[in-house]
Amino acid sequence: MEKDSPKIVKFLKTTAAKRQVDLHTDVAEYLQRYRTGKTGLLFQTANGTPHLYGNLEDRWLTPRLKKMKLEEDGMGFHALKRFRKTRLRAARCFEDLNNFWMAHKPNDV
């Protein structure tokens, strides 16, 4: 998708743009049920276009963070990724596995 417009492009910017995401089985089952009978984008606007990243953050995430009294400058979707990295380190997760889950390239062989 283009960064600042709801236009789907037919290519990935880098090979890292294609990812496999680990989901809890309950979430995976919910999404399977949700997409039953649907075509096109899984999550779309009323016009059938993709949601823009900034709009999701401004209109969906930030109001929920404010309601929970958790909103701070710099808080956004990337903060969730940083939180996961911190939790994986605290759990003493193997660095190779940690990098795989975070979609980072391995540092060594």
pTM of the model: 0.50
Most confident of 36-40, 55-59, 105-109: 36-40
Structural domain for 63, as ranges: 15-101
Helices (H), 1-109: 25-35, 53-56, 62-67, 77-90, 95-101
CA 14 to the chain's CA centroid:
17
Q: Is residue 3 part of a domain?
A: no
Q: Is residue 109 part of a domain?
A: no
Q: Is residue 70 part of a domain?
A: yes
pLDDT value of residue 109: 58
Average pLDDT over residues 36-43: 85
Q: Which residue has the higher pLDDT, 45 or 30?
A: 30
| CA pair distance 101, 29, nearest whole angstrom | 21
Q: Is residue 54 part of a domain?
A: yes
Mean pLDDT of the chain: 81
Average pLDDT over residues 36-63: 82
The b/e string for 1-37 (b: 16+ C-beta within 10 A; e otherwise) is eeeeebeeeeeeeeeeeeeeeeeeeeeeeeeeeeeee
Q: Is residue 106 part of a domain?
A: no
Structurally, how many domains does the chain consist of? 1
pLDDT tens track for 50-101: 877 777 788 888 888 889 887 777 777 777 778 888 888 899 988 888 887 7
Assigned token pair, 19: 């990812």
